[in-house]
Structure 1
Amino acid sequence: MINFKLLRNFVTLFIGYLAILLGLWTLSPNISAMPKTSLVTGMSVSTTPEFSRLIFDLTTPVSYKAFTLTHPDRLTIDINGTKLAARLNHPALLNTSITAVRSNQMAQQLRLVLDLKEQHPFKCQMVKIPGTEDWRLIVDLFNTKQVQTAPSENAFNPYTSDATNYQPRNRQIANNFPTNNQSFTGNMSVSSNMVTLRQRPQPKIIAPLLSKYHTNIIVIDPGHGGKDSGAIGVAGSQEKNIVLSISKYLQYILNQQPGFRAVLTRDNDYFISLRQRLNIAHKDRADMFVAIHADAYTNKDAIGASVFALSQRGATSELARWVAKKENESELGHVIADKNLLLKSVLIDLAQTLTIDSSLEIGRSIMGQLSRVTELHCPRVEQAAFVVLKAPDIPSLLVETGFISNAAEEKRLNDQRYQYKIAIALAQGIKNYFLQHPG
């Protein structure tokens, strides 16, 4: 016989159990609506004289909190709902005040720690990558010695194409350098207040060969530094500061190019001997050595850029002969006291004719590009008997970027946009040579 009372109790209990399960299901969050975990898929590093930039690639936008700590100095960034899926080491960190990038993965948060040599003003921003679903967290650390406060949104930024907007005269400028991690090859036509970029596809054959088979090491030597200020301009500008800024721009531009790695002999305001500069070229097995300087002369009307290389048969002009005499004196360890002397700098003396010919060819390539953005003091590559270097297989040039003894040119050489233009011209001249002579 069926026990209806027991059956009724069982049905009641079963219905109650189903009700509880239904209630729990309706109260639980919608799985599809739950926030997705973002992944850090990569990190890149860029530097300019004004700031260092770290870019963290993310799969989705995130909320974050950034703050500085001391003892030791560091910048900490807590990123919510994020997991690390990339390595955080990058060779370009060597050119920054960041000694290391560390991470600590927590359940609902990723903590990134930037170990610093010293405290810096900083700025963070979340940016969507156009045409994709990916995002970037951009962290800028500003150089306290050059920028006391963070620049405004409209301030000059070498990472955008606006960096080349400054142009005093109407002319065509070849510009083959990518900006904002994009490849750009084209011409820039400039009027008084407008820049028009005309793009064309990047070369598909030569450029990849550079990066696949050989990396061209370019050692950039910003003249003077520290106790040696170099030439002094009419308004008091110091050569050592101008050439360091131009050199850093040149390094940044070259390091964006496949098949190139640029090394600075000094990256701040300190004195480094000639022998140390040459040792850096040896150590890094340089494919080219280029010294960056700025002129001063008793004739205040002197203007324009110059390029110098070695001559084994004597100087090409009285000026070049006088320059070589002064630079050879510098090799003996003397710091020239007269800050208004012309061309106070040092150039590697190259013994082999083949290397000298390469230097002259690179020099002509550079002068061709410089002529597009500034006046030339001399229409040819000058030569003189500069100091002997024991490794005669490194093509070397000395570039005088202009006369800071000329008030108008001194003003231009202190303009960051003009410095960047000069750096683009130098980089384009160097790149053109190595494209024609790969490997």
Structure 2
Amino acid sequence: MCTFITLFSHSAFANTKITSTRLWAGPEYTRLTLESDLPINYTLDTLNNSRRIILNLEGVTLTPALESLPGKVDAKDPFIRDARVERSRPQMLRLIIGLKMNAAPKTFTLDPMDGFGHRLVLDIYPPEQAAISNKKEDPLMALVQEFETRVPTKNNSHKPPEGLSTNLDRNARKPSKNYIVAIDAGHGGKDPGAIGPSGTREKDVTLAIAKKLKARIDKEANLRAVLIRDNDYFLPLEERRTKARRANADLFISIHADAVPRLQVRGSSVYALSENGATSTTANWLAKKENESDLIGGVKLDNKDHYLKKTLIDLSLNATINDSIKLAGNVLSAIGNINPLNKRNVEQAGFAVLKSPDIPSILVETAFISNPNEEEKLRSETYQDKMANAITAGIKRYFSSNSGFARTEVAQSE
């Protein structure tokens, strides 16, 4: 017996492009999200006793994002055994999901919002929980749950290399993964950031280090970097996060070289987001100072992060913060080899630029530009190169220790 559900949302012949795929496995259900530029016209087939779910995607183009989905299935997923994509006829793709046990699927859609495109969401529940889950979807809860689909879990945030062939051979070896690192050069344009005793502007130093960091990361076989700001212009903090999401970034690294009133303060430090207050007075002071960047650009803070405020109670952000702390610890250890540390532990505070609920994000204070000796370092290409090398080493260590296949895919030489 076959259950056949049909939902139509636009012309079957439109070339709908899947821009992102996300897979989140929890103890009670698994969630698959397909994000696209246009609404997806689809049908859902569930075959009794076959332990398969089939999503028929009409008018959908086979993109690298969709090709990458089978590689995101985690062996520890309680429901999904495997996944594959087939071309069943010229205008139809089939996403076939193999199950480990009998399960009940549920689908719903979400309209574009806050940088997200159209989303088709498939939830897979145990049969006994399906009836409970089929209650009418609460719009706010749908927004909250959407962030759960974007939690980085093992294997679910890895992107394929650009330029993958669109000819999918499901028997071929899975393509190696590229890890995308978004590099955010702090400040820019009408926001110069901190200014050193000799007139060095933070925005210039951060851009110089960011470009060197990108060049260094791009030399790694399975790492690729994108610059959030590639020239001297202003970007609101929220737009920096949005650009990282559009790039399908796996990590977000914000580069800074701040100042404090006491000129003798020196050293490097690394910060992660905190929901529950800062870990030190300095961390709190720096976060407030960095968050004021939007005031320079005329951004209204009262409406800022409205979407995120609705979801801060969600555990998904906590999971991302935990990953951010792991990343920060690896980077902190690496940069401690080239410059004294201002704080020997990872610090946390409410940095607005780090509030991506799905991307591990850290802020690196490369040195204090307010200290005359460190200002001179920051102006030095030699120091900038060393800082880029150290941050890259920390990123590689993070991937090596937090991904089962990263150990073989990310080069170990530093």
Q: Highest CA radius of gyration, 1 or 2?
A: 1
- Which structure has more RCO (C-alpha within 8 Å, separation ≥ 6)? 2
Give the TM-score normalised by the residue count of structure 2: 0.49
